Amino acid sequence: MRRLPTPPPSSEITPEARYLRRREILKSAGLFVGTAAAMGTGLVALTGRGRRATITAEPLPADLVVPPASAVPAAPSGSAAARNPFTTDEPRTPYEDVTTYNNYYELGLDKEDPARNAKTLKPRPWTVVFEGEIKKPQRVDIETLLKWFPLEERVYRMRCVETWSMVIPWLGFPLGKLLERLEPTSRAKYVAFSTLMDPEQLPFQLTDVLEWPYREGLRLDEAMHPLTMLAAGLYGKSLPGQNGAPLRLVVPWKYGFKGIKSIVRIALVEKEPQTSWNMAAPREYGFYANVNPDVAHPRWSQAMERRIGDVEKRPTLPFNGYAEEVASLYAGMDLRMSY
């Protein structure tokens, strides 16, 4: 029987969803705060200084050109178009934290488990199937796929539904460019994604935490939006297994669980596809999952977040700070109902 995350304490300490025996093991000396003190300031700062697993990420192939996000041409200073959503001047979350504080339940239920267990995931050889309402269905080797488009660095905010956040320099390419190449038919309205199903590589697929394989989906216009990308690396290196090697989805204005990892299938479909968290708890995890500080999770507020590495919480921004680019996608929708 699936067990859903427990609600956060009423004192509004950082609300971490917990599955089965999942819990945060915070080992930073001097950071533990007793219950009485926690009532005033929160239990502990998420500094990311706990015990670390060994990270084994390989550099990207030298023939894959990776222009930095800062190289994206900017509009003249002071103009309305000067905003560059593909990067941010906010401090980047350290590589060590990005690669050791993860939700990837196929590799474990605690934050450190995915990094510890990622050695079982073999990102080569790897193929991705493209099918459904497209004119060019095909199965493509990952090495070939990564040569179809120049890789770009994009520095995006990432907001987890659990109210923590990071700033991550991803390497990848626009999903829209891939979809254009596949030539969607007029019947295509949504994009469905699937993770690898292989308990030998992803051993926690033997549990009933979710219905496997992990599934996600986007509306076609969301998938075609320039901000939406498929990432193959971060910090100038190939994706580590715990971050979704060899290919994952990044949609920066949505909660992190939309960022499906280790993708093996992308299908264009007519109807809204089933998604894993929505199947498990539809009242708590909607299909859209847009970051919205005004719409609380049923068991905790989404108004504030804690950036990994920071002590103080900060206000959560509508659409994770990308409202100027994406709010028009949802014009006329009731975002309290379409959460």
Sequence ranges of the binding site for Mo-molybdopterin: 102, 105-106, 160, 195, 243, 248, 259-261
Residue 215: strand, helix, or coil: strand
Question: What phi and psi values does residue 158 have, to the nearest 5 degrees?
Answer: -125, 120
Distance CA 269, CA 178 (A): 16
The answer to whether 180 touches 129, Cβ cutoff 8 Å, is no
Amino acid symbol at 112: E
Distance CA 255, CA 288 (A): 9
Q: Where are the beta strands (DSSP E) in the chain?
A: 127-132, 138-141, 152-159, 164-174, 190-195, 215-219, 229-234, 237-238, 248-250, 263-269, 304-307, 314-315
What tokens were used for 288?
Answer: 């859209």
- Give the Cα-Cα-Cα angle 188, 218, 86 (nearest 5 degrees): 115
Question: Residues within the annotated binding site?
Answer: 102, 105-106, 160, 195, 243, 248, 259-261
Distance CA 130, CA 196 (A): 14
Paired strand residues for 10: none
